[in-house]
Amino acid sequence: MALRFSKMHGSGNDFAVIDSRGGALALSPATIRAMADRHTGIGFDQLLSVEPARDRASAFYYGIWNADGSPSGQCGNGVRCVAAWLHRAGALALDDTVQIQSPSGPVAVRVIDAHRVTVDMGVPIFEPARIPFEAPHAAKHYVVDADGQPLEIGAVSMGNPHAVMVVEDLSAPALARLGPALTGHPRFPEGVNTGFVQKLSTRHVRLRVHERGSGWTLACGTGACAAMAVLRQRGEVDASVQVDLPGGSLQIDWNGPGERLWMTGPAAFVFEAEWLDPQAGD
C-alpha cells in the first residue's frame, strides 16, 4: 500500500504530514515506529494527519503520534506545519485566522506567509491535576528527586505536560541523564516533556527539550511555550520572548495568567514522497 506524505519541519522539529481529509488515519504503533526510523524509514519526531473536523466550530482536525507510536495531545511546531500544509493545499488563505482541532482541543492559526505561522496555543494550565502532575497544590517551584538528586522544576500543561528546569549551561553533560530521568518521572503519570532553559535576558532564552516518546529534538513548540509560561509566571521574563532552540528560534507572547499564549515561527516543506509498506493499512 502506498501512503503519500509531506516531509516538513518547524525549526528542525520534523514531521511526516499525511492527507487524511477523506477520513481518520488508522495506523498501528508498529507501522508508525517503522516509518519514524531514521535509518530504514522516513525519519521524523512526530507523524501528523490532516483530517475532517470533528466539531462544527473547526475547519479541520489534526492527529499527532510520537516516533514510538504513542499518541500526543499537542505539538506547537506541528500545528504550524499543518497550517502551512493547508495553505499550500488551498484550504487556508493568508492572514485568515482559522480554528483547527487538536487531540487536546481547538487552536487558532494564522498563516502570515508561505513559511511563517502564528498559533493561539491557549491558556497555560498550572493546576497539578490537569497537567497531570502529583502535587498537593499549584506552585511556581517544585522539588522532585531524579537521578539521585533533588531538582527544582516548574510544571505546566500546554495541551501536553511539561517540566521546566532553569540551568546555567545547556551543554552540561548532566543534562543527558536528567532529561530521560525527568521525562519518565513517576510524579508525572503520563510522562512529561522536559525542557532545560537558560536565561539570556528578560526577552531572550535558550532551550533544549527531551520529549516523551521522541527523545531529544531540535525544537519543541509547546516546550518553548511552557518555558516562557513558567518563567513569566515567576516574573522572570517580559511578555514577549525569543526562544532559541537547537533548530531555530520561536517568538512567544503571553501577558500572564488567565491570558492566551501565542507562538510565531517557521514551517518548511522538505519533500513529498510515498511510504511503501505492507503494514501501512493496519
Question: What are the distances in angstroms from CA 100 to CA 47, 58, 93, 258, 273?
Answer: 17, 5, 14, 21, 25
Q: Are residues 172 and 100 located together in one domain of the fold? A: no
Beta partners for residue 252, in sequence order: 241, 263
Is residue 281 scored above 70 in pLDDT? no
Q: Are residues 78 and 183 located together in one domain of the fold? A: no
Please report whether residue 282 resides in a domain.
no
- 109, 118 contact by CB (below 8 A): yes
CATH at residue 72: 3.10.310.10
Q: How confident is the model at residue 114 (pLDDT cuts 50, 70, 90)?
A: confident
pLDDT digits (tens, 9 = 90+) for 234-271: 999 999 999 999 999 999 999 999 999 999 999 999 99
pLDDT digits (tens, 9 = 90+) for 1-59: 689 999 999 999 999 999 999 988 999 999 999 999 999 999 999 999 999 999 999 99
Q: Are residues 225 and 190 located together in one domain of the fold? A: yes
Sign of CA dihedral 162, 198, 208, 112: positive
- The H or E element containing residue 30 is helix 29-36
| List 17, 75, 163, 182, catalytic entry | 75
Report the interhelical angle of 221-233 vs 76-88 (nearest 10°).
Answer: 130
The single residue listed with the C-alpha cell 517557521 is 266
**CA end-to-end distance (rounded Å), the chain:** 10
Active site residue 225: no
**Cβ neighbours of residue 30 under 8 Å, at least 6 residues apart?**
69, 279, 282
Enter the C-alpha cell of residue 46.
Answer: 512526530
Binding-site residues from annotation: 13, 46, 66, 76-77, 160, 193, 211-212, 221-222
Enter the C-alpha cell of residue 40.
Answer: 530504514
Enter the C-alpha cell of residue 120.
Answer: 493561539
Q: DSSP letter at 90?
A: T
- φ, ψ of residue 185 in degrees (nearest 5): -65, 135
Q: For residues 118 and 47, what is the distance between their CA atoms, to the nearest angstrom?
A: 21
Please report whether residue 133 resides in a domain.
yes
Please report whether residue 281 resides in a domain.
no
Q: For residues 48 and 228, what is the distance between their CA atoms, to the nearest angstrom?
A: 25
Q: Are residues 157 and 133 located together in one domain of the fold? A: yes
Q: Are residues 108 and 20 located together in one domain of the fold? A: yes
Q: Are residues 111 and 132 located together in one domain of the fold? A: no
Active site residue 81: no
Q: Are residues 89 and 162 located together in one domain of the fold? A: no
Please report whether residue 147 resides in a domain.
yes
Provide the whole-model pTM: 0.89
- 198, 208 contact by CB (below 8 A): no
pLDDT digits (tens, 9 = 90+) for 164-205: 999 999 999 999 999 999 999 999 999 999 999 999 999 999
Strand 161-166 to 193-201 pairing: parallel
pLDDT digits (tens, 9 = 90+) for 120-139: 999 999 999 999 999 999 99
**Cβ neighbours of residue 172 under 8 Å, at least 6 residues apart?**
none
- If one counts the domains in the chain, the total is 2
* 3-state secondary structure at position 78: helix
Q: Are residues 28 and 144 located together in one domain of the fold? A: no
Domain region containing 72? 2-122+267-276
| List 107, 144, 220, 250, catalytic entry | 220
- 14, 43 contact by CB (below 8 A): yes
Binding-site residues from annotation for substrate: 13, 46, 66, 76-77, 160, 193, 211-212, 221-222
